[in-house]
Amino acid sequence: MRCAVLADIHSNLEALSTVFRDIEMKGGVDEVWCLGDIVGYGPEPAECVKLLRKHNPVCVAGNHDLGAIGKLELSLFNPVAAQACVWTAEKLSPEDLQYLEELPQTVEKGDFLLVHGSPASPILEYVASNGIAEKNFSHFEGLYCLVGHTHVPLAYKQEGNKVASIPLSSGIGLVLKKSRIIINPGAVGQPRDGDPRASYAIYDSEGGIFRVYRVEYNVRATQDKMMEAGLPVPLVTRLEVGR
């Protein structure tokens, strides 16, 4: 079985539609898994919910999804993110809001646990260091955990009682074996590792290969839509530098 793993789409329809085209070009997938933050920051929240739902995804909630529906206090966001949350809420239909409202915080799929933040704190914690990853291995039972939230593609592998981080370059396959591992596929709609290209992964259960891909999309088109919408300028400029 082949699964596409998408995280942190952030209302960036240009990036999301480019990723879906790339998936088709690579032969398609049987399932789409989404690790949350479908909305927030970007200019096309409703369009992203609609396109994602066309693919019948298995999806968990992210902090921005909950912020947009009023289930997470805006004081937990930085000022520009909070401003985008308020803007996003106005753009979503009652049906979109209900879809986001009903997203679970965690989902188990075979050997994988899917969360947005971390197994210990599914909505808010960033798995952003070996130490945080190490602590989180005791918060899930299966072999593998998929996380988003940091917007950086990276894996943390448990080896004995140590944790090693593994950078995930585009096209290089990580072979999943019996070692426990926490993997972040990077962000579709707002990468933060210095590479502005959209990031996502395809997992092929045959051979257990998890492969991150980076794809160029029309950053300028997203930026133009954000300026048109009056979204905060720092959110617009960060897209082209991938920070």
Stretch near Zn ion under the rule CB under 5 A, chosen from 2-10, 72-80, 86-94, 206-214: 2-10
Query: CB of 63: closest distance to Zn ion in angstroms?
Result: 7
Provide, rounded to whole angstroms, the least separation between the CB of residue 80 and Zn ion.
Answer: 13
Q: Which is nearer to Zn ion, 104 or 142 (CB)?
A: 104
Q: How far is the CB of 149 from Zn ion (least distance, A)?
A: 6
Q: For residues 41 and 112, which CB has a smaller minimum distance to Zn ion in the complex?
A: 41
Please provide residue 17's backbone torsions phi and psi, each rounded to the nearest 5 degrees. Answer: -70, -35
Residue that has been written with the tokens 């000022």 in this structure: 79
Report the residue number, 8 or 125, with the smaller CB distance to Zn ion.
8
Helix axes 45-54, 94-101, angle to 10 degrees: 60
**How far is 188 from 7, CA to CA, in rounded Å?**
6
Site for Zn ion in 26-55 (CB under 5 A): 37
Please identify, using beta-carbon distances, which residue of 133 and 147 lies nearer to Zn ion: 147
In angstroms, give the least distance from the CB of 60 to Zn ion. 12
Among 3, 6, 8, 184, binds Zn ion (CB under 5 A): 8
In angstroms, rounded to a whole number, what is the distance separating the alpha carbons of residues 105 and 212? 23
- Residue with the CB atom nearest Zn ion in the bound state: 37
- CB-CB contact of 230 with 23 (8 Å): no
Structural contact between residues 34 and 200, judged by C-beta atoms closer than 8 angstroms: no
CB of 66 to Zn ion, least distance (A): 12
Nearer to Zn ion, 37 or 96 (CB): 37
DSSP string, 87-155: HHHHH--HHHHHHHHT--SEEEETTEEEESS-SSSTTT----SHHHHHHHGGG--SSEEE--SS---EE
Distance of closest approach, residue 62 Cβ to Zn ion, in angstroms? 6
Q: Which is nearer to Zn ion, 176 or 193 (CB)?
A: 193
Chain positions contacting Zn ion, by CB under 5 A: 8, 37
